[in-house]
Chain A
């Protein structure tokens, strides 16, 4: 088997070229919490316009602008704060020009965990929910479905409206 010797020697050059490998980053390494809207125990679509603000250094910062006909939404959470405060606002239109505004505040208490994946993909920040507090203008209650908030995009909260 003289050709076997040639094959073995030739493979040395192939091996050197094939020394490279890489890592595929996940398509989504941004962490969002997933919220579903419920009424009377079943999922509902809100026909009105939804806005969500985050309290950033004491100032309301718009996160979601004019979400319409929605049954769910995704919200980011802060990397490092132990609690995030959101304002959920619904503009209910009586006609094309006039509307009423209903709003509630939601406070998420959480533990934060940064997770390193690779030098290419960097770090993402996961959270573990420890508690939820809300006002009750239009919200009846908020149910925590999944405490862990990560890149899996699974349902975390259900807002039960009155």
Chain B
């Protein structure tokens, strides 16, 4: 008799436990489904970017003229792999020394930005990322003849088609905001650091396309982004 009672109690307890488990599983399934609908889809689309900071600075008087565009992918509104391709021309003559420097070359960068904001469903982004850039270039230098002040000998100042290469890393921080549907604007501050270079011994490349002046340091960019395709939420 006691054995039957124990079996009954045990089976009853087991049934109750199973009932709770099934209810918990059902609730979790509903929650998971709701979360999926509130998460960005895995592939959110792609965008074309145009850098306008450098052309604007050139209009205001700087010597560098740079055109740069990029293609950016969007994964979950969090990961943004990007490829940037540009061309830079630099042509300057110093008023005091009358030395003329000129270079003209393409460059490219590959990298990724990560959206640091918690709410990935909104259109604004706080970005942190990196780029690896590379440029191979040639430059020319010419100027007045140089005269030795003591010995009096004179020699030409002329370097033609001096070639060099540079590989560099950029650490990127930026803000991006949606202005209209499918159109964003954003700026970034980048710290650029030389990784590897090949330069001639007789002349420093005063300006390197894509990198800027030769020292490691900071630069800023201003980009326009045009979404080619766009999703925000998940399954619908």
Point out residues on A near B: beta carbons under 8 Å.
Answer: 1, 4-5, 7-9, 11-12, 15-21, 23, 54, 56-57, 61, 63, 76, 78-81, 84, 113-120, 122-123
A98 to B124 alpha-carbon distance, docked (Å)? 88
Q: 23 A-B residue contacts at CB 8 Å?
A: A4-B175, A5-B124, A7-B177, A8-B186, A9-B179, A9-B185, A11-B175, A11-B187, A12-B56, A15-B187, A15-B222, A16-B53, A19-B57, A19-B60, A21-B212, A21-B213, A78-B151, A79-B155, A114-B146, A115-B203, A119-B97, A119-B206, A122-B99
CB distance from B206 to the nearest CB of A (A): 5
A76 to B152 alpha-carbon distance, docked (Å)? 13
A21 to B152 alpha-carbon distance, docked (Å)? 35
Known interface pairs A8-B177, A16-B60, A18-B220. Does A61 touch B141 (Cβ–Cβ under 8 Å)? no
Known interface pairs A1-B124, A56-B150, A123-B157. Does A116 touch B96 (Cβ–Cβ under 8 Å)? no
Contacts of A8 in B (CB 8 A): 175-177, 185-187
| B100 CB–A CB distance under 8 Å | yes
A117 to B146 alpha-carbon distance, docked (Å)? 15
| B122 CB–A CB distance under 8 Å | yes
Point out residues on B near A: beta carbons under 8 Å.
Answer: 52-54, 56-58, 60-62, 92-94, 96-97, 99-101, 122, 124, 141, 143, 146, 148, 150-153, 155, 157, 159, 175-179, 185-187, 201-204, 206, 212-213, 215, 220-222
Contacts of B203 in A (CB 8 A): 115-116
Secondary structure at chain A's binding surface: helix, strand, loop or mixed?
A: mixed
Number of A-B residue pairs, CB cutoff 8 Å, is: 126
A3 to B122 alpha-carbon distance, docked (Å)? 14
User: Most chain-A Cβ atoms within 10 A of its Cβ — which of B54, B58, B152?
Assistant: B152
A1 to B146 alpha-carbon distance, docked (Å)? 59
Contacts of A1 in B (CB 8 A): 122, 124, 177
A4 to B202 alpha-carbon distance, docked (Å)? 48
A141 to B141 alpha-carbon distance, docked (Å)? 42
Q: Check A118 against B177 for contact (C-beta < 8 Å).
A: no
Contacts of A79 in B (CB 8 A): 146, 148, 151, 153, 155
Known interface pairs A12-B187, A19-B56, A79-B148. Does A115 touch B175 (Cβ–Cβ under 8 Å)? no
A118 to B186 alpha-carbon distance, docked (Å)? 33
